[in-house]
Structures are given as structure tokens and as C-alpha cells.
Amino acid sequence: MLLLDNSAWTRLPRVQLDEQRRADIGRLISEGGIATCLPFLLEAGYSARSARHHRAILSDLGLYPRVEITRDVERLALDAQSDLARVGHHRLRPTDILIAACAHEAGAGVLHYDRDYDVLREHTRLRFDSEWLAPAGSLD
């Protein structure tokens, strides 16, 4: 299972991915292999252009499996931010830290287009698969 990050979600409909990658992601979605969590849903809702668009976004995303934020996820996120502070990277976006903590707790990966997830893997105790939507630097 892969948790969806806003950096990938916003690029999915407008980006030219190679056919195999697009097919792989489509298969994951249809098999329930792409999930959401609250931090991502809040980011997705933030991008809405109107109340109607907001309802549509959250309605569509409500069909995906969802990973909940537990007290353990909260602790993992705070610990990860402390780990990052020790190496000067504590300014990573809190939503990315929470999504990574959700992925760690769920034994999942993160589908993204954001170097922050590689920083989280390198400098914290969070363990999750960092799955780039496309190679870094290849998309707008």
C-alpha cells in the first residue's frame, strides 16, 4: 500500500507519465493499493476552488482506503521532527512528517514527488518506502 502525497496527487491528471507507470498507478488505485490519511486530505481540500469543488474532491478521495492518525503516529511524527532538528532539517513541512509517520505505522510507502520524503528516510527512524511518482526533476 502507498499513501498518497499532494505532490503526486496534483501531478497525476496533468502530467505525462510513461504508459507503464500510468498503468501501474491505475492498477494500484483499482486494487485499493493507494490510501489517504488526514494530512493529505486537508491539503487536497485546501486546493479546492469552491465549496462544490471541495465536496467533489473529498467525495472522490473518500473512496480510497484511509490510514488513521493514532497516538503512536503522533509520537512518531514528534520523534521524527526531533531527529530532523538534530541534523538541521526540522523545517520540513509538518504534513510530510505526519504522512511519513502514518506510512511507517501502517507498514506502507508514500507515493510522492517531493525530496522531503528521502530526507525523512535518511535522517529519522521512520521506515517506509519512498516511491517517486516519476524520477526526481523530470516533472514540472
Q: What is the pLDDT of residue 28?
A: 96
Per-domain residue ranges of the chain: 2-132
Q: What is the pLDDT of residue 117?
A: 98
Residue 14 pLDDT > 80: no
pLDDT digits (tens, 9 = 90+) for 21-74: 989 999 999 999 999 999 999 999 999 999 999 999 999 999 999 999 999 999
- Arithmetic mean of pLDDT over the chain: 95
Kindly indicate the confidence band of residue 19, based on its pLDDT and cuts at 50, 70 and 90.
Answer: confident
Q: 2-132: which CATH topology? A: Rossmann fold (3.40.50)
Q: Are 109 and 128 in contact (CB under 8 A)?
A: yes
Kindly indicate the confidence band of residue 140, based on its pLDDT and cuts at 50, 70 and 90.
Answer: confident
Q: Which residue has the higher pLDDT, 82 or 139?
A: 82
HEC secondary structure over the chain: CEEECHHHHCCCCCCCCCHHHHHHHHHHHHCCCEEEEHHHHHHHHHCCCCHHHHHHHHHHHCCCCEECCCHHHHHHHHHHHHHHHHCCCCCCCHHHHHHHHHHHHHCCEEEECCCHHHHHHHHCCCCCEEEECCCCCCCC
Residue 138 pLDDT > 90: no
Q: Are 107 and 57 in contact (CB under 8 A)?
A: no
Global pTM? Answer: 0.94
